[in-house]
Structure 1
Amino acid sequence: MDTTTNDAALDPACEIDEDGEVVVTACSFLVAQADLEREAAEVLPGKFDECTYDKGYIRQPLYACLTCTHPPLKYRQGAIRPGPENQPATDPAGMCYSCSIECHAGHEVIELFTKRQFRCDCGTKRLLLPAEQGACCRLKSARPMLAKLENAANVYNHNFWGMYCSCDKFYAPEDEAGVMIQCYVCNDWYHDSCIGKLPSEDEYEDYVCRACVSKHAVLRYIDSTMLRYGRVEDGRVSQIEPASSASIPDTSTEGSADEPASKRARPSMCRLRPDMSAIDALQPFDLFLADGWKSHVCTCIDCMREIEASRLVFLVEEDEVVEPEDDEALGESLYESAMKRLRTMDHTRAIDAASAYHSLSSSLKDYLRPFAASGKVVKPQDIQAFFELQKSGH
């Protein structure tokens, strides 16, 4: 088949014949196809045939579409394609892994990484496909009523426009010189240069940004010798040694070990630090939490009331990530996937499909045989002519 010279420069399957004509050999095409399938398996390792909407508010990998949603003017300069200044802004929205592939292929999709307590917005009032593509999520097309609904418990921030950190910078992996770490509570990501010098990786398990530290006393006042407080001053991290907790009984394990902490009997004594005013005087500071820090979160009646009201139950219960299901066909070629699909079909339909494929294959071979005998290049119009013949019944 012939193509253009520009295409040949970009497509590894293209070659230049002795007459200077651009052609694609069958061998080079198969090699290029195998490379594409291998790359796709690496980029899309999980199945994408089911939306997570029905799983409710879960912790999952999220994505945003900057084609279907439009940021306010202050965020447009950082976007890959900022759009016209007079374009109306929309509400931010997030979608699951499957919808980012099935519903928004070819769009400007950005990865938001893992966020918790979030329900997929695709197909809801916040995230509808363009009219020419159908208004509802393709994986939930039988439920058009979702287009009138919103996920009221979802929380959005500047990440949904591609902005991160306290510096409000658009995330472009190729431009990032340093490292970024994620706040365990708000799930935003922060540049190491904006935080200050970090402790070594083996000195802490989780990081909590200074905004969350200021907002949530149940974290700020944890009383534990296992906790590392990190305060940033002039680019340096200083340790704030916690008061000894030897006099405070550990009642965090009262009740059944299998019962969620939020449902267990509440300890009567609060385990928060007694020197709260001294800690407050040191703000603002970040937290670098040492391994095992969750066992020191207080679950007394008052603290649990704050934890539940602030949607921080993940501090005392399981916080698993719902990942896309592994794709059993990962690594298979398109041919292998098609043959496996054929074996699962109804026997009669499978025979009909195999017969139709054999007939088409035989006809194509007969049509191409003269080209092979003469060494003539097969051009796009030749293939088009073949299918026109098939449609006409010849």
Structure 2
Amino acid sequence: MCVCVCVCVCVCGYVKRQALYACNTCTPKGGEAAGVCLACSYKCHEGHDLFELYTKRNFRCDCGNRKFTELQCKLFPDKDEVNSLNKYSHNFFGIYCTCSRPYPDPDDQVEDEMIQCVVCEDWLHGRHLGCVVPDCVELQEMICESCMNKNPFLWTYAAHLAVPGAAVPVKEETGGDSNTDVPNKEEQVDDVIEPSCKRSREESSCRLKELQETGQKRVQSGAVFWPSAWRSKLCSCSTCQERLSEADLSFLFDESDTVLAYEKKGKNNEQKEQGHDPLMSALDNLNRVQQLEIIHGYNDMKTELKDFLQRFASEGKVVTPDDIRQFFEQQQSRKRRRVDAGRFYCT
């Protein structure tokens, strides 16, 4: 992991998704919940009792703000008193699941996987989800029963989009002939498409409304597992967008919000850094002599920077902006000495 990126994360605003920690030493249970970024966990909280929170969305590092009465952030001391858009849960005090137990739990002898809800981002034991955990769960997203019940319209989507086997779908009774499970084409058209001219275009194009009108339901209990790309199948009409916005669920329209997308992006960036040298694309318009001079200078600086950063890595320290400035000041000083040493004067 690049330490420079960690420093940028610490000073930036609310980050779309990042790894977070909670410091039990600085903000123990009973105090205000707070989260710190990876860089601050190394630089400001070394040797402290930390809770690893994995990743959270739309979060800004709290290190050194009002919640830390006796600690000032060593990376960026000038911070807002509070990050009002941050969301906190009992996870920030080392407690997880509906059973409110720590992880790892020394008193729990049952081997059980913990799965994160994509809405509240709490971690729950598989046995406390109220449903059967499907196969390939690492490729699926889960919404816990509590979050489903807080947003009842999600149950409609679940009846059509959820992973089969996690819950049993049922068909709503429509009356009439008990031997007829599905209405004929004419009845279905009359049901779904009202002839009234008052029906707005928005209503007729609302996928959620269309799904509701099919009458297909599922048992509204237990967590729900969702397959890959399920978010792209949510209705995005103006009414549904407003509904998700009011419920603070607009992120469900963003497929890059998923943890899988976050991990995939990290792997792609790592591979790109290993296989791509940005120097090559900058040399196309230079002559041979200029290309060689730049390549030699670039390689020298690259080697020196690698050695410089290696010292911090071996000591487990985070690189600060002051350290980077000091490195380049030393580079400039060495360059000036080389230029001065190469001058010749006639007498």
State the distance in 2 between where 1:125 and 1:53 align: 16
Q: Secondary structure at the match of 1:59?
A: strand
- Alignment of 1:208 onto 2:143: yes
Match of 1:169 in 2: 101
Structure 1 residue 304, shift from structure 2 partner: 1.1
Q: How many residues align?
A: 257
- Report the CA distance shift for 1:336/1:187 in structure 2 as closer, same or farther (over 3 A): closer
Gaps of 5+ in 2: 173-181, 190-200, 274-304, 316-323, 336-347
CA, structure 1 residues 270+209, in 2 after alignment: closer, same or farther (shift >3 Å)? Answer: same
Q: Aligned in 2, Cα 1:152/1:334: closer, same or farther, shift over 3 Å?
A: closer
Confirm or deny that 1:137 pairs with 2:73.
yes
1:271 to 179, 188, 207: 207
Cα distance in 1 for partners of 2:59, 2:117 equals 16
CA shift, 1:166, in A, is 0.9
1:368-379 → structure 2 map (5 Å cutoff): none
**Pick aligned residue for 1:185 from 119, 131, 146:** 119
Distance (Å, rounded) in 2 between the aligned partners of 1:64 and 1:190:
18
Q: 1:304 to 1:266 in 2, by over 3 A?
A: farther
Preserved CA contact (<8 Å) 1:66 1:161? yes
Is residue 309 of structure 1 aligned with residue 254 of structure 2?
Answer: no
Partner SS for 1:197: coil
Secondary structure of residue in 2 paired with 1:62: strand
Q: 1:294 to 1:120 in 2, by over 3 A?
A: same
Contact 1:208–1:288 (CA under 8 A) maintained in structure 2: yes
Q: What code does the residue aligned with 2:169 have?
A: I
Matches within 5 A, 1:191-270: 191-195=125-129, 196-201=131-136, 205-222=140-157, 225-228=160-163, 237-240=166-169, 269-270=205-206
Given that 1:61 and 1:323 are in contact with CA atoms closer than 8 Å, whether structure 2 keeps it comes out as: no
TM-score normalised according to structure 1 size: 0.54
DSSP 3-state at the match of 2:56? strand
The equivalent position to 2:330 in structure 1, one of 323, 343, 346, is 346
Say if 2:232 is the partner of 1:291.
no
Higher helix proportion (structure 1 or 2): 2
1:101 aligns with 42
Is the CA contact (8 Å cut-off) linking 1:165 and 1:191 kept in structure 2? yes
Shift of 1:52: 3.0
Instruction: Give 1:56 shift.
Output: 2.0
Distance 2:242 2:312 in 1: 57
Quickly say closer, same or farther: Cα 1:97–1:269, change in 2 above 3 A: same
TM-score by length of 2: 0.61
Distance (Å, rounded) in 1 between the aligned partners of 2:215 and 2:307: 56
What is the aligned counterpart of 1:112 among 27, 36, 53? Answer: 53
The CA RMSD measured in Å over matched residues stands at 4.2
Alignment equivalent of 1:151, drawn from 62, 83, 93: 83
Q: Which amino acid aligns with 1:66?
A: N
Residues 223 and 103 of structure 1: CA distance in aligned 2, closer, same or farther (over 3 Å):
closer
Q: 1:99 to 1:238 in 2, by over 3 A?
A: same
In 1, the alpha carbon distance for the partners of 2:116 and 2:312 equals 41
Equivalent residue of 2:157, what SS? Answer: coil
8 Å CA contact retained: 2:53, 2:92: yes
Extract unaligned runs of 5+ from structure 1: 1-43, 72-88, 231-236, 249-264, 352-394
